[in-house]
Structure 1
Amino acid sequence: MDKLNKIIKRYKVFFALAAVNIAVIIARPDIGMKSIDLTIDNALEMLSILPPIFILLGLLDVWVKKETMIKYMGEKSGIVGVLLAFFLGSAAAGPLYAAFPVAVVLLKKGSKLSNVLIMIGAWSTTKIPLLLFEASSMGIKFMALRFVLDIFGIAFIAYTTEKLLSSEEKDEIYKNAAKAE
């Protein structure tokens, strides 16, 4: 019974959404079927993206020593850590939800919290294919301006967030990352 409660607690959002989907199917079958189709499409997309990312994360976890990660992205990494975080985020492939497992591995390996936040920010806004698309469709000036503003905005948000968090809150973030499977 304890195991069942643990499963229900862990997947409560999934079960709640499934119940809502069933209610919509009963009340409005046309909308409910569209919802089911979208759910299946999104699940298939996630299943096509996540396995390669988890393989790369496993390789990162095994191949990169904690000392190396601390040296290049840790507390005393300085500008090298910031540049590496921007590069990791900008060169990454996949949707934003794929950045969070990467962030967990970086935190486990001793990366500075602001560098991890910079990587997530870069992943969401400064992807290289997006920059190329913007340059071709909206012009190089627009792309360059947005890119520069994003760089400063991401750095400002990352450092401000890190400064506003108490040491207990930061410790909790690192503990949660260490517990993640």
Structure 2
Amino acid sequence: MKFRLVLSALLALFMVAPVAADDHKSGKTIVEIAASNDDFSTLVAAVKAAGLAETLSGKGPFTVFAPTNAAFAALPAGTVESLLKPENKQKLVDILTYHVVSGKVMSADLAGKTIDAKTVEGGTLAIDATSGVSVNDATVTTADIAASNGVIHVIDQVLLPN
């Protein structure tokens, strides 16, 4: 159950786009917010292929570090296409859940800190908010997109678990 919730959160992050501050009041989930933004079409496709949409639409709360289409496009040629194949589903699930942290972590909670955050995948993200916000080697380009079941932070790279 927890795994499915994390996957759902990840889907939402990948499908997120800058939205109005009151979207969380409208009841939109992470997945609904992401699906409404064309900049996350690759993330949304990946979340669907991984079977994580339902999980990331669940109660949560989740914090999703969502890569944009440009972040996916920066991967080596053929990587996304390969990950979307049914035989690579577990690898895709691992990558997507590596972008999700349980709980709702807003940028104000991180300001001036460096922390290690455990992901739903089981790995650890190095978050540095001492000068801007970075997650591993990715930069948060848009923070605090509130959803009814968590928050999305847009990042400029796809994070890969060890």
Instruction: Work out whether the TM-score is over 0.5.
Output: no
Query: Under a length normalisation based on structure 1, what TM-score does the superposition of the two structures give?
Result: 0.26
Query: Under a length normalisation based on structure 2, what TM-score does the superposition of the two structures give?
Result: 0.28
Larger Rg: 1
Structure number with higher relative contact order (C-alpha < 8 Å, ≥ 6 residues apart): 2
